[in-house]
Amino acid sequence: MSSPTSYHSVVVQDRSRGAAVTLFYRAAGPENAPALVLLHGFPSSSHQFRDLIPRLARKYRVIAPDLPGFGFSDAPAASEFAYTFDHLAEVVESFTDAIGLDRYALYMFDYGAPVGFRLALSRPERVTALISQNGNAYEEGLSDGWSPIRAYWEDPSPANREALRTLLAADFTRLQYTHGESDTSRIAPESYALDQHFLDRPGNAEIQLDLFRDYRSNVALYPRFQAYLRQHRPPMLAVWGRNDPFFLPAGAEAFRRDLPDAEIHLIDAGHFPLETHLDEVATVIGAFLARTLDVRGPALFRGLGAEEDSVQAAPALAKIGEAFGFVPNLARAIAVEPAALEGYLAMLHALAATSLDPIAQQVAMAAASRANGAEYGVAVHATLAAKAGAPATVVTALRAGAPLPDLKLDAVRRFATAVASNRTQVSDGDVQALTSAGFDRRAAVAIALAAGAKTLANAVAHLAHPAIDVGFREPDLVPAAA
């Protein structure tokens, strides 16, 4: 069940001006849950997160403010308020104090990245994780689309400033949403219409032109942002639209230079992937947050070693150990209730007897696990798919959550994803896509069985947080000594 979003305004003290500024923000999720702050970019507002917020708020406290000069927050005249990224970050930092946030992860998009990195530089102890969604911190991430703005940096003349006004026009705002998208019919027109409404407010053009001029300060700070990553090593996810005309995929890949463990996901989308690829992005983010923000400790599971195994579950665990050559951590977690392990194994035995071939069975379970945000399950079933004879291209795609090159297997993947992500409420279109690939009603029920089995296993995985066993990791990620 999604968490409803509420809408608020808070008065924040602007330390630089000694005055107050009112910021609008969206909030959802339990107040005692780990916090995630969503920072929007140009030319948008927290409105861009409207559909993502309820997804993430099922487990986390989600806060999305409108920056000064954007959305429903105050927009003091440029003659009264210095529209620099230093100043925006200072106000947002005061905003986190005003609403009582002392620990939070940051989701940074576009302008939100230089604001968020400044927050991290100022108070690194408060930042629990970073998510960059087309939020740049490297020179190679800047495309040629920045050329007119670079010209303004080099020569801030009235003529160069005037030339940038075309970037504030309705056609350009719409272009930012549509460029690089294969199906623009999925983009809600109110997205760019609302952005344009705020851009067209009296005086707002000067606000935006001032920020264009100051963006060079962000580029100058890139070395400090990168040094922060190397020094503090926060958990990092970059999930980018690969077709962004402003921030190139190289900018996402560059995070690994300073954070080798950074997770990089490139989506076949443009600058605003949440408009067209919400499910894909939300699934990637949900899995990342589950690994980084969720509380991990002995509250329910003191340990997953052999010494914790119950006598009743020992025979089943011994058989599993014989099959794998080791007892998987998740099997031990399920076995804390021996009847649950017996039920899970019975479901797997039943699935093996269905009309689905062994590779399709593993595809269905991997897809359901990904939809449930359970990386352990993805690792297990990608490994088992390989052992069942799946081509390396299929195994790699399963681990990445990407479409499968085999169209029949991809139909299984999509149907299992629909069953799991839609809480079993598959549509007629989901069924038609499956049958068009050559599957019948038996296969549909078998895939539902696979998804049902993974509902149990994935729920326990989220309770126990088992480490992914070496035997299920990607070969190039297994330590040499393993």
Q: What is the CATH number of the domain that holds 339?
A: 1.20.1290.10
* 430 occurs within a structural domain: yes
Query: Could you tell me the pLDDT band of residue 477, with boundaries at 50, 70 and 90?
Result: very low
- pLDDT at residue 17 in the model: 84
Is the pLDDT confidence value at 203 over 70? Answer: yes
Strand partners, 20: 13
- Under the banding of pLDDT at 50, 70 and 90, the label for residue 482 is very low
Tens-place pLDDT, residues 205-219 = 999 999 999 999 999
Of the candidates 16, 31, 198, the one whose C-alpha atom is nearest the C-alpha of residue 93 is 16
Query: In the annotation, is 87 catalytic?
Result: no
Question: Which tens digit of pLDDT belongs to each residue from 157-175?
Answer: 999 999 999 999 999 999 9
pLDDT at 327 over 80: yes
334 shares its domain with 209: no
3-state secondary structure of 317: helix
Instruction: Give the C-alpha separation, 413 to 87, whole Å.
Output: 47
Number of domains in the chain: 2
Strands of 35-39's sheet in order across: 6-14, 19-28, 61-65, 35-39, 104-109, 127-133, 236-241, 263-267
Of 292, 322, 339, the domain-final residue: 292
Radius of gyration of the CA atoms of the chain, in A? 24
If you write DSSP's letter for every residue of 347-376 in order, what string do you get?
HHHHHHTSSS-HHHHHHHHHHHHHHTT-HH
pLDDT at 120 over 70: yes
Mean pLDDT for the stretch of residues 123-144: 97
Domain contains 226: yes
Shared domain check, 317 and 270 = no
Confidence at residue 309, expressed as pLDDT on a 0 to 100 scale: 67
Do the domain assignments include residue 339?
A: yes
pLDDT at 478 over 50: no
Q: Does any domain span residue 480?
A: no
Do residues 285 and 311 lie in contact, with contact meaning Cβ atoms separated by under 8 Å? no
Count of beta carbons in the 10 Å neighbourhood of residue 429: 9
> Is the same domain home to 105 and 48?
yes
Residue 465 is predicted with a pLDDT of: 83
Question: Could you write out the DSSP letters of every residue in 1-56?
Answer: -PPPPEEEEEEEEETTTTEEEEEEEEEES-TTSPEEEEE--TT--GGGGTTHHHHH
On average, the pLDDT of the chain sits at 93
Catalytic-role residue among 40, 271, 277, 465: 271
Least confident of 77-86, 134-143, 463-472: 463-472
244 lies in the same domain as 322: no
Least confident of 77-81, 238-242, 247-251, 369-373: 369-373
| Residue 481 pLDDT > 60 | no
Which CATH number covers residue 259? 3.40.50.1820
Q: Per-residue pLDDT for 373 more than 90?
A: no
Quick one: 316 and 194 in the same domain?
no
The predicted model gives 20-30 an average pLDDT of: 97
Please check whether residues 266 and 321 belong to one and the same domain: no
Same-domain status, 254 and 127: yes
Give percent of the chain with pLDDT exceeding 70: 95
335/255 same-domain check: no
- Residue 440: is its pLDDT beyond 80? yes
Examine the domain organization and report whether 261 and 339 are in the same domain. Answer: no
- pLDDT, residue 462, reads 85
Q: Decide: helix, strand or coil at residue 343.
A: helix
- The verdict on 139 and 204 lying in the same domain is yes
- The string of DSSP letters for 37-51 reads EEE--TT--GGGGTT
Per-residue pLDDT averaged across 408-432, rounded? 93
The answer to whether residue 63 scores a pLDDT higher than 50 is: yes
Segment 30-56, tens digit of pLDDT: 999 999 999 999 999 999 999 999 999
In a domain, 301, yes or no: no
Q: Is 60 exceeded by the pLDDT of residue 479?
A: no
Is the domain of 319 the same as that of 287?
A: no
Note the pLDDT tens digit of each residue in 179-197: 999 999 999 999 999 999 9
Q: Does any domain span residue 202?
A: yes
- Domain interval for residue 219: 6-292
Asked which of 292, 327, 361 is the last residue of a domain, the reply is 292
Of 257, 292, 327, which residue sits at a domain end?
A: 292
In terms of pLDDT, which residue wins out, 462 or 438?
438
Q: Which two tokens stand for residue 38?
A: 């969503």
The more confident residue out of 293 and 353 is 353
At 464 the pLDDT is: 86
pLDDT of residue 293 exceeding 90:
no
* Residue at 482 is within a domain: no
Same domain, 119 and 12: yes
Tell me, yes or no, whether 300 lies in a domain. Answer: no
DSSP code string of 251-307: HHHTHHHH-TT-EEEEES--S-HHHH-HHHHHHHHHHHHHHHTS--STTT-S--SGG
Q: Give the HSE-up count for residue 449: Cα atoms under 13 Å, Cβ half-sphere.
A: 23
**Residue 260's pLDDT band (boundaries 50, 70, 90)?**
very high
